[in-house]
Homo-oligomer: A and B are copies of this chain.
Amino acid sequence: MRTAPVCPSPIMQHETVQMAHGAGGRLSQTLMQRLFMPHLHNAFLDLLDDQAKLDLPAGRTAFTTDTYVVSPVFFPGGNIGELAVNGTVNDLAVGGAMPMYLSAGFVLEEGLSLVELETIVKSVAEAARQAGVVIVTGDTKVVGKGQCDKIFINTSGVGIIREGLNLSCRNLKPGDSIILSGTVGDHGMAIMTSRKGLSFQSHITSDCAALNSMIAAVLDAVPAVHAMRDPTRGGVAATLNELAVSSSVGIEIKETSIPVKPDVRGACELLGIDPLHVANEGKLVISVDAKNAGTVLEVLRSFEYGRDAVIIGSVVSDHAGMVVMETAFGSRRIIDLPLGEQLPRIC
């Protein structure tokens, strides 16, 4: 008589990921059938073919990829599973595409708790449902203990590009308004303050969210948006610099107009980090002709994830390729890219 289940979650005969789960044998099948498929199954994955066969509607197709290596994998406001879905959904949406299909490639470390893995897979499934995308193909690999850090997830995505748009980081025009959809630095500082060794008493949570519905509404209202980016790794500073360089224009922003939550500002000051360099996972930077800026703001503010949207600056013909900020004290300084890392593994 068995007196106790082998695993707290009665899905598998082991409690942790084994090398054998990745070897293509019977245990690989078990992991797939008992842990992944109950949450992710759909008409595409159920076929168990090596590739999904998609009937894409007419139009140009957007294709993007990102590997997520965030540490810790569970952080205030989310986990690596929803981050991996939302990040790729947003990368498609900011290009003017309707995100449709995602792939998911998991690298699992031997010894990873199966309960944790199932929680992450559930988050992948739930985030996909919320964003209205389907995980149509996948892959799972297992590496030995100490050969990865718990779990890495690659998601690649396919979407259909809306007609009549011309979004590009090369399309900024002098006179554009630069709009930011909300507070900066929430994701990066949520990760930083949840790391071992840092014991902030903070309530900072990640802004990790899928923005495709909000973006679609903005583009419905103003198809003439010039450029849209999600300021993830490198933060708003990196995004603005890329836009300025790609379009050979200058960008001027006002420090006082940039929304930063007090907790985030405090943590940044303590760590000596500029919030403009901190990653966001649910924010947009939009460049649009000033005459359309009001409409874009109105649409953004009608959404939960855009309620704090503001104009933070404008595009100028001076100092091409450079981002200049008017500080709270009235002085001007160049907002450059950081040389190296301040915040490793935030996505």
CB distance from A194 to the nearest CB of B (A): 17
Q: In the complex, are the beta carbons of B51 and A60 less than 8 A apart?
A: no
CB distance from A106 to the nearest CB of B (A): 8
Interface residue A196 (Cβ < 8 Å from any Cβ of B): no
Q: In the complex, are the beta carbons of A53 and B161 less than 8 A apart?
A: yes
Q: In the complex, are the beta carbons of A67 and B23 less than 8 A apart?
A: no
Separation of A336 and B29 alpha carbons in the complex (Å): 13
CB distance from A37 to the nearest CB of B (A): 15
Name A65's contact: one of B29, B104, B144 (CB within 8 Å): B104
Interface residue A69 (Cβ < 8 Å from any Cβ of B): yes
Chain B residue contacts of A337, Cβ below 8 A: 24-26, 29
Interface residue A192 (Cβ < 8 Å from any Cβ of B): no
CB distance from A122 to the nearest CB of B (A): 20
Instruction: Given A107-B152, A143-B69, A234-B24, verify A63-B340 contact (CB < 8 Å).
Output: no
Interface pick from A88-96, A111-119, A202-210: A88-96
Q: In the complex, are the beta carbons of B23 and A136 less than 8 A apart?
A: no
A 124-155 to B, binary, CB cutoff 8 A, 1 in contact else 0:
00000000000011110111101111001010
User: Please, which residue of chain B has its CB at the minimum distance from the CB of A104?
Assistant: B65
Chain B residue contacts of A234, Cβ below 8 A: 23-25, 28
Q: In the complex, are the beta carbons of B158 and A105 less than 8 A apart?
A: no
State the 8 A-B residue pairs at the shortest beta-carbon distance, nearest first.
A20-B340, A24-B234, A23-B341, A24-B233, A65-B103, A156-B156, A154-B154, A51-B64
Contacts A53-B95, A67-B154 supplied; 9 other A-B pairs, CB < 8 Å: A23-B344, A25-B337, A27-B339, A51-B157, A51-B159, A52-B64, A63-B137, A64-B137, A148-B149
Name 15 interchain pairs, CB-CB below 8 A, sorted by A: A28-B234, A29-B337, A47-B170, A48-B246, A49-B169, A51-B62, A51-B159, A52-B63, A53-B62, A55-B60, A56-B60, A63-B136, A65-B103, A65-B104, A69-B107
